[in-house]
């Protein structure tokens, strides 16, 4: 197991190298330059030349790539062209926000998706099964940004039940030692702050969680339907085990294997889906950060941010692989 | 396995409770001991820094305007210069020497007295900037107004305008320039030249900065955590992407601010900002888009506030390309553009017809310029008289993917103009490019055909910021280098007497619109802000530096 983990971690090196080349090539293939974006109407040819020189954008692409690899290897992502702040310190603020949102969305997806899938499987072919199919199809086919806008319009603008933007009520005075606002509020025992932060999470989490919710519901249904027809389930039932115990120990546990794969993949997708959700709710996470960087042609932020997300994606998948072993002791890694 | 199911059940319960409970009552919003009251104002992004000397964007100026004051200020809602930290001033020495009588008894927020030594400290600080601080990204406005530094480190920098500062007693500062300069005084109202506490600048290392990966960045803590001025509000904290908090300066020398606290938060998305105003999460906002004006007007709790127009949209000509190298063709185009209809149709009643290249609120504007009222027959006559065979072909460029304050819908403006030109003896060949970055680059380098749609928003209250930017010296954009006009505009810049300057700019405007006609201005638009009805005393500044001092809301 340890060897497997080490090998997978070592594999990160070529993956990152590949991703870095792709990201670098892609970012530089974007039409336009950051200098034009920065200067707008004030971009006289002389000023553009001067800025290009200052930002090193007049060097050849391989030279720029090498400079980028060198700074990145030293643990630095450079300085944002738009905000003039270090990419690393912006990342430290943005990443916890997105993780918090992704976790909240996943909680929504699991809490609703798994029971929905199980119920559908239990009533295979019945009206409840069809109803769950409709719900999941809606979840998969509704674009996240549209759902986000609808949720926001109904629950924030029209009903006024929930806030429409941000992570926290700005009139609240508090500290953010970890930048995980939920955790910060818990650590500091500020229950009113916790309450406010959770309220800000509800709508974005519902919007972002809609797709994984639907996928998880469908996969759970299929897995449970498969497993409940297995011989060992029939045997368990035949020997008189209580149905609830059969469900938990024999059906759900075995059905969890495909479900956990989907959870892992969906967690990665949540990070990309966050771009739309964060834009609609002005949620200051990785998504809105990268969106701004694309508009501003902010190369250091794009390169650093995407590379970082690639690492996270790979690590999440590693965790999923490890979790297989936990759910299914027969799987052995060597 | 049991444990996992329990865990899942717990998650489910938690999520459900969250959804149910959080929707139960709005009365709980923000409940808790750690709350502070005050106006919440939304712009579109965070400030870049809070050291105004390094700032050139409106979002930063919005914050620094409350913390810092300059020697002079602009009368609210206008671009007229009024006293601020200087109570009066005198110009002598052929326009090169400016003597400022300073306001007495003023202190910076850290207790440092404001006096002539502090004024000279600030001027000498800018003049002595070196290394990273000479980067155009660091000191854009200093370079625009003062040219270069004591020791220029780049050949592209101009000779410095500033020569010296002398403190005469505690309350008189004498600034000497190397040449007379008209925009000098109005430019001192720019936040870039606001007075900052010498003690705090030194203590918090304001002048250390780096160019990292080519980007300028202050490395001291002053610009992020310790901006110290004399203004009606004191800096109280900045959480990036969340808020800047300002608190009332109870030691302020003038009428104290009505609000105890102001929170300025960034909301980038235009419609998200309006929705946050509707939900009451913010009390006021800037940058209301024309399409959202009716939403605000139809809401009984909200109101629209107009920002006086300080911009111009125009159809620019390229004088180096035939047929627009011919003045008669340019005049025919001017008569062939139905500008009034465009202003009426596409600005939602939020613009006035422009007749020259600067807004009417600014001195130097004159009604005596040649006007070109839409007249297709006259356009054709001029073309025929000049020996042209109709139709005359024109390459006309417009930008896509953009809405500018002065030009909310470029494509529809273009379509209307094309149609009116086609009726006036022209054959229009349409070209377009995305605004960012291709279009602006093409226009600036003179590669955007015979005609193009473009505009400008002013930075400070001087005609040089319009006419000088467009027409002084060599202009690839207009394909011209008009020596008499450049001489006139240079003379206007160097003239110390305001009355004479007004006359010179009026003369320039008449010359531009009659003898040169490098383009046809068509709109000065009125940008909008939105706020809750109970926000009172808010006066919007044409250049966006609105004062929060006289503002109150909801009885505060």
CATH assignment at residue A323: 1.10.3720.10
- pLDDT the model gives residue A328: 66
| A39 lies in some domain | no
Residues 266-305 of B with CB under 8 A from A: 267-269, 272, 275-276, 278-281
Residue B362 has pLDDT above 60, yes or no: yes
Supply the pLDDT for residue B205.
93
Least confident segment among A184-193, B3-12, B536-545? B3-12
Q: Distance (Å, rounded) from C-alpha A154 to C-alpha A161?
A: 9
**Residue B148 — very low, low, confident or very high, per pLDDT cuts 50/70/90?**
very high
Assign B14 a pLDDT band (cuts: 50, 70, 90). Answer: very low
CATH of B311-525, one of 3.10.250.10, 3.10.105.10, 1.10.10.10, 3.40.50.720: 3.10.105.10
- Residue A16: exposed, middle, or buried by beta-carbon count in 10 A (0-12, 13-18, 19+)? middle
Give the nearest partner residue to A192 out of B11, B34, B444, using CB atoms.
B34
Cα separation, B32 vs B399, whole angstroms: 50
Task: Choose, out of A164, A176, A241, A260, the residue to mutate when testing the contact with B (most B CBs < 10 Å).
Answer: A164
Give the distance from residue B85's alpha carbon to the nearest chain A alpha carbon, in angstroms.
31
Q: What residues in B contact A79, CB-CB < 8 Å?
A: 212-213, 215, 217
How many domains in chain A?
Answer: 1
Task: Enumerate the domain spans of chain B.
Answer: 11-265+535-553, 311-525
In chain A, the residue whose alpha carbon lies closest to the alpha carbon of B20 is A202
Percent of chain B predicted with pLDDT > 70: 91
CATH of domain B11-265+535-553: 3.40.190.10
Greater pLDDT, B148 or B407: B148
- Give the pair of three-digit tokens for residue B409: 């819908």
What residues of chain B, 362 to 391, have a C-beta less than 8 Å from chain A?
A: none
Domain-embedded: residue A312: yes
Closest Cα partner for A144 from A63, A213, A88, A72? A213
What radius of gyration do chain B's Cα atoms show? 26
- Residue among B435, B441, B373, B448 at smallest CA distance from B409: B435
Residue B272 CA from chain centroid, whole number:
23
> What pLDDT does residue B215 have?
63
Contacts (Cβ under 8 Å, ≥6 apart) of B395: B321, B429, B431, B449, B450, B451
Interface of B with A in 197-216 (CB under 8 A): 211-216
What is the per-residue pLDDT for B7?
A: 46
**Token pair recorded at residue A266:** 């969906």
Residues of A (80-99) whose Cβ lies below 8 Å from B: 80-81, 83-86, 90, 93-94
User: Averaged over B326-346, what is the pLDDT?
Assistant: 95
Has residue B31 got a pLDDT over 50?
no
Helix (H, G, I), strand (E, B) or coil at B517: coil
Q: Residue B17: pLDDT band by 50, 70, 90 thresholds?
A: very low
Q: Which residues of A touch B455 (CB under 8 A)?
A: 41
pLDDT at residue B47 is higher than 80:
yes
Quick check: B20 pLDDT over 80? Answer: no
Which pLDDT does position B512 carry in this prediction? 97
Distance from CA of B325 to the nearest CA of A (A): 22
Which residue range(s) make up the domain with A165?
95-327
* More confident: B288 or B201: B201
A189–B contact, CB cutoff 8 A: no
What is the structure's pLDDT at A18?
86
* A318 vs B541, residue with greater confidence: B541
Q: Which among A45, A78, A166 has the least Cβ separation from residue B444?
A: A45
> How far does Cα B527 stand from its chain's mean position?
12
Q: What is the pLDDT of residues B391-437, one digit of tens each?
A: 999 999 998 877 777 887 888 899 999 999 999 999 999 998 877 55
Nearest to B177 by CA among B234, B97, B247: B97
The answer to whether residue A67 is domain-embedded is no
pLDDT at A42: 57
- Kindly report the nearest CA distance between residue B488 and chain A, in angstroms: 23
Q: Give B 463-522 residues with CB within 8 A of chain A.
A: 476
Residue A229 contacts by C-beta under 8 Å, 6 or more apart in sequence? none
Tell me, yes or no, if A241 comes closer than 8 A to chain B by beta carbon.
Answer: no
CB B253 within 8 A of CB B108: no
The verdict on residue A38 lying in a domain is no
Between A125 and B536, where is the model more confident? B536
Residue B16 pLDDT greater than 60, yes or no: no
pLDDT tens for B105-119 read: 999 999 999 999 999
**Which of B212, B243, B272 is nearest residue A79 as measured by Cβ atoms?**
B212
Q: Which helix (H) or strand (E) holds B194?
A: none
b/e sequence B504-515, b meaning 16+ C-beta within 10 Å: bbbbbbebbbee
- pTM of the entire predicted model: 0.78
* Contact criterion met (CB < 8 Å) for A32 and B456: no
Does A54 fall in a domain? no
What pLDDT is recorded for position A39? 61
CB contact under 8 A, A83 and B46: yes
Q: Chain A closest CA to B91's CA: distance in Å?
A: 31
Query: Which residues 125-184 of A have a C-beta within 8 angstroms of B?
Result: 152-153, 155-157, 159-174, 176
Pairwise CB contact (< 8 Å): A51 & B30? no
**ipTM of this predicted complex?**
0.73
Is a pLDDT exceeding 70 seen at residue B21? no
Does any CB of chain A come closer than 8 Å to the CB of residue B3?
Answer: no
* Residue B503: how many other CB atoms lie within 10 Å: 15
Tell me how far apart the alpha carbons of residues B136 and B133 are, in angstroms, rounded to a whole number: 8
* CA dihedral over B28, B34, B37, B39, signed as positive or negative: negative
Strands (E), B327-440: 351-353, 392-400, 426-434
- Residue B29's pLDDT is what? 37
- B26, B138, B214: best mutation site toward chain A, by most A Cβ within 10 Å? B214
Question: What residues of chain B lie within 8 A of the CB of A212, using their CB?
Answer: none
Q: What is the pLDDT along chain A (334 residues), one digit of tens a residue?
A: 677 778 777 877 888 788 888 887 877 776 666 666 566 555 666 777 776 776 666 777 788 788 777 777 777 777 777 777 788 888 888 899 998 999 999 999 999 998 898 889 888 888 888 888 888 888 888 888 889 999 999 999 999 999 999 999 988 888 888 889 999 999 988 999 999 999 999 999 999 998 889 888 988 898 888 888 888 888 888 888 888 888 877 887 778 878 877 887 787 778 777 888 888 898 988 888 888 887 767 778 888 888 888 888 878 777 877 777 666 666 665 5
Give the model confidence (pLDDT) of B226-250 as tens digits.
Answer: 999 999 999 999 988 889 999 999 9
Note whether A226 contacts B: Cβ–Cβ < 8 A: no
Q: Would you list the DSSP string of A141-174?
A: HS-HHHHHHHHIIIIIIIS--S--SSSS-TTB--
* Maximum distance among all Cα pairs of chain A, rounded to whole angstroms: 86
pLDDT attached to residue B418 = 95
- CB-based burial label for A168 (10 Å; 0-12, 13-18, 19+): buried
Cβ proximity of B523 and B356 under 8 Å: no
Distance from CA of A84 to the nearest CA of B (A): 5
Give the per-residue pLDDT at B62: 93
Q: Which of B241, B406, B553 would you mutate first to test chain A, the one with the most A CBs within 10 A?
A: B241
For range B246-256, the mean pLDDT = 96
Q: Which of B22, B46, B263 sits opposite A170 (nearest CB)?
A: B263
- Residues B73-106 have pLDDT tens digits of 999 998 889 999 999 999 998 889 999 999 999 9
């Amino acid at each position: 197991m340890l060897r497997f983990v080490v090998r997978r971690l070592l594999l990160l090196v070529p993956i990152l190298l590949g991703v870095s080349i792709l990201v670098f090539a892609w970012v530089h293939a974007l039409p336009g330059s950051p200098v034009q974006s920065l200067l707008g109407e004030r971009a006289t040819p002389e000023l553009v030349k001067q800025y290009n020189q200052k930002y090193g954008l007049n060097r050849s692409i391989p030279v720029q790539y090498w400079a980028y690899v060198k700074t990145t290897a030293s643990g630095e992502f450079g300085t944002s062209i738009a905000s003039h702040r270090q990419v690393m310190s912006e990342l430290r603020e943005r990443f916890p926000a997105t993780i918090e949102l992704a976790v909240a969305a996943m909680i929504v997806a699991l809490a609703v998706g798994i029971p929905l899938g199980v119920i559908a499987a239990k009533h295979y072919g019945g009206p409840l099964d069809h109803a769950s199919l409709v719900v999941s199809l809606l979840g998969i086919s509704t674009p996240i940004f549209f759902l986000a806008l609808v949720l926001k319009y109904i629950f924030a603008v029209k009903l006024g039940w929930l806030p429409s933007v941000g992570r926290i009520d700005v009139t609240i005075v508090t500290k953010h030692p970890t930048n995980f606002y939920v955790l910060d509020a818990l650590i500091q025992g500020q229950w009113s702050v916790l309450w406010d932060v959770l309220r800000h999470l509800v709508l974005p989490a519902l919007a972002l969680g809609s797709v994984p919710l639907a996928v998880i519901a469908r996969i759970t249904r299929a897995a449970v339907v498969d497993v409940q027809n297995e011989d060992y389930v029939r045997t368990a039932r035949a020997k008189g085990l209580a149905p609830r115990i059969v469900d938990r120990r024999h059906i759900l546990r075995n059905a969890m294997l495909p479900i956990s794969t989907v959870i892992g993949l969906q967690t990665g997708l949540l990070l990309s889906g966050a771009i739309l959700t964060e834009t609609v709710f002005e949620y200051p996470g990785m998504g809105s950060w990268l969106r701004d960087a694309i508009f501003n042609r902010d190369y250091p932020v794009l390169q650093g941010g995407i590379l970082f997300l690639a690492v996270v994606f790979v690590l999440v998948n590693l965790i999923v692989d490890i979790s297989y072993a936990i759910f299914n002791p027969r799987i052995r890694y060597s | 396995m049991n444990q996992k199911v329990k865990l899942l059940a717990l998650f489910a319960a938690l999520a459900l409770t969250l959804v149910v409970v959080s929707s139960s009552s709005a009365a709980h919003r923000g409940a808790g001991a750690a709350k502070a009251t005050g106006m919440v104002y939304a712009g579109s992004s965070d400030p870049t820094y809070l050291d105004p000397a390094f700032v050139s964007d409106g979002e930063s100026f919005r914050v620094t305007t409350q913390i810092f004051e300059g020697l002079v200020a602009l009368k609210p809602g206008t671009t007229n210069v009024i006293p601020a930290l200087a109570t009066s001033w005198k110009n002598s020495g052929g326009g090169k020497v400016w003597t400022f009588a300073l306001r007495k008894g003023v202190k910076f927020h850290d207790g440092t007295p404001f006096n002539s030594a502090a004024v000279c400290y600030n001027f000498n600080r800018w003049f002595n900037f070196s290394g990273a601080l000479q980067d155009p990204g660091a000191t854009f406005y200093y370079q625009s107004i003062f040219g270069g530094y004591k020791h220029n480190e780049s050949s592209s920098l101009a000779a410095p305008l500033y020569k010296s500062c002398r403190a005469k007693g505690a309350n008189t500062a004498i600034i000497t320039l190397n040449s007379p300069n008209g925009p000098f005084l109005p430019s001192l109202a720019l936040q870039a030249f606001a007075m900052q506490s010498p003690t705090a600048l030194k203590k918090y290392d304001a002048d250390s900065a780096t160019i990292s990966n080519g980007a300028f960045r202050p490395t001291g803590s002053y610009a992020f955590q310790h901006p110290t001025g004399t203004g009606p509000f004191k800096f109280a904290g900045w959480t990036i992407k969340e808020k800047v908090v300002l608190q009332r300066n109870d030691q302020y020398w003038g009428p104290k601010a009505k609000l105890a606290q102001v929170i300025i938060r960034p909301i980038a998305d235009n419609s998200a900002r309006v929705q946050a105003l509707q939900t009451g999460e913010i009390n006021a906002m800037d940058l209301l888009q024309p399409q959202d004006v009716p939403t605000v007007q139809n809401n009984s709790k909200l109101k629209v506030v107009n920002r006086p127009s300080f911009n111009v949209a125009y159809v620019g000509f390229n004088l180096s390309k035939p047929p627009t190298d011919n003045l008669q063709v340019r005049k025919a185009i001017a008569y062939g553009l139905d500008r009034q209809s465009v202003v009426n149709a596409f600005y939602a009643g939020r613009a006035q017809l422009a007749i020259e290249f600067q807004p009417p609120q600014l001195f130097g504007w004159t009604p005596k310029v040649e006007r070109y009222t839409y007249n297709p027959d006259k356009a054709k006559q001029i073309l025929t008289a000049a020996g042209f065979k109709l139709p005359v072909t024109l390459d006309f460029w417009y930008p896509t993917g953009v809405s500018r304050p002065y030009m909310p819908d470029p494509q529809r403006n273009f379509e209307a103009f094309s149609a009116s030109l086609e009726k006036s003896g022209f054959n229009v060949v349409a070209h377009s490019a995305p605004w960012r970055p291709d279009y602006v680059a093409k226009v600036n380098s003179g590669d955007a055909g015979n005609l193009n749609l473009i505009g400008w928003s002013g930075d400070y209250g001087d005609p040089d910021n319009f006419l000088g930017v467009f027409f002084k010296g060599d202009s690839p954009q207009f394909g011209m280098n008009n020596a008499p006009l450049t001489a006139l505009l240079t003379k206007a810049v160097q003239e110390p007497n305001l009355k004479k300057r007004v006359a010179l700019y009026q003369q320039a405007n008449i010359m531009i619109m009659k003898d040169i006609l490098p383009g046809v201005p068509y709109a000065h638009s009125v940008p909008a802000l939105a706020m809750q009805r109970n926000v009172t005393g808010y006066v919007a500044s044409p250049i966006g530096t609105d004062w929060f001092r006289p503002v109150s809301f909801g009885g505060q």
